[in-house]
Structure formats: structure tokens, C-alpha cells
Structure 1
């Protein structure tokens, strides 16, 4: 848990990654994992990381900020792809079907 009034280096947070479910992997052997940093009521704040590769997902309600790495995210509903990198902020809504193509290990801070 975060200590109020104290800085915490997001790059120093340990995230244990595991192989993704084979059914969701489209290319490569990506791993992913997350660490919960804290909660605010029912809201979770954490760090999520995925290694290089391509995988599909069904999203939850979330806002995230990319800390490091690069990826493209394809949104199936409107056949649209965005590119994200450090400093980018993205809003996802529950039920979105996405394909993540990570080209440089991606680390993001999420609020969900």
C-alpha cells in the first residue's frame, strides 16, 4: 500500500509476470502481470506490465497512464488502432474487445 504524502517510484515496483492464456495470444510468447498499489473505496490503483508480443483482451472500466514501453491497441468494435507510449493517458470501458501489440515491454499505472 502507498504511504500518504510519500513518493513511490513506479519503476521500482516489482510486477511478477506469467505466461498469458494460449487462447488469447496471437503472436509471440508475451507475459503479463500486475501489482495493486492501493485502493480508494471500490477503486483499485496498480501497475500492469506486458512483455513483447500480441494478445487479445476484454477490458474492464479503466483509465491508465503509460509509464514506459510502447504498444498499439486495436479496438475491434470500430476497427481502430492507437499507438501508446510514455505519458499517454487512455480510457477503456468494460466490454471493449482489444488486441495489444507490445513492441517494447509496456508498464502502465491503472485506475479501475
Structure 2
């Protein structure tokens, strides 16, 4: 995942690489949690809405022929899914007014 930060209304130093790294880490964690939840719901409902079966079909057609009839009810719910999320902030747009930032930090 990659994106831009257009602007912010909270006092934050977008020019600090540590701050951007922390934002990226938190975004990756949040997206991973949302994806895991989506997969868990799909498995619980035995509905392969994310089409993992298509991946099996394309990469292992012989295996697919054996499991196709029971994919949704038997195999899909037991499929292990490893989620890796890489989040990158490519650009930061409008920045906080430094005077406002300094005021929030107790500086003048």
C-alpha cells in the first residue's frame, strides 16, 4: 500500500522520518487486521469472495480438479493465509503551520 498525506489538522512533524515510519507501521498493522477480519468472515461463511480458489486453479489445475467440488465447504475454511502488508507514505502535501505546531508544543 502506498499513498500521500495531503494535509493534517493535528500537530505532527511530517518532515521527521521517524514519524513517517511510525505512520507507515501503524497503517500496515491496521490494514493487516482488516484483511484478516475479512478473510475470517469469508471462511466462517464458507464463501470464497476473495477468490483464493482461482489461484489454486491457475497454479495447480490438477489439485483444483480434486478439490473443486468441496472447495468452499471443506478446503477454503481450512486454508492458511499469510498476510504481508508494506505501507509507504510517498509524499506529504500541505504541512502544519509551524506557528500552530509550536503553540501546541508549548513553544512560542
- Of structures 1 and 2, the larger Rg is shown by 2
* TM-score, structure 2 normalization: 0.21
**Structure having the larger proportion of residues in strand:** 1
**Structure having the larger proportion of residues in helix:** 2
* Larger RCO, structures 1/2 (Cα 8 Å, 6+ apart): 2
* TM-score, structure 1 normalization: 0.21
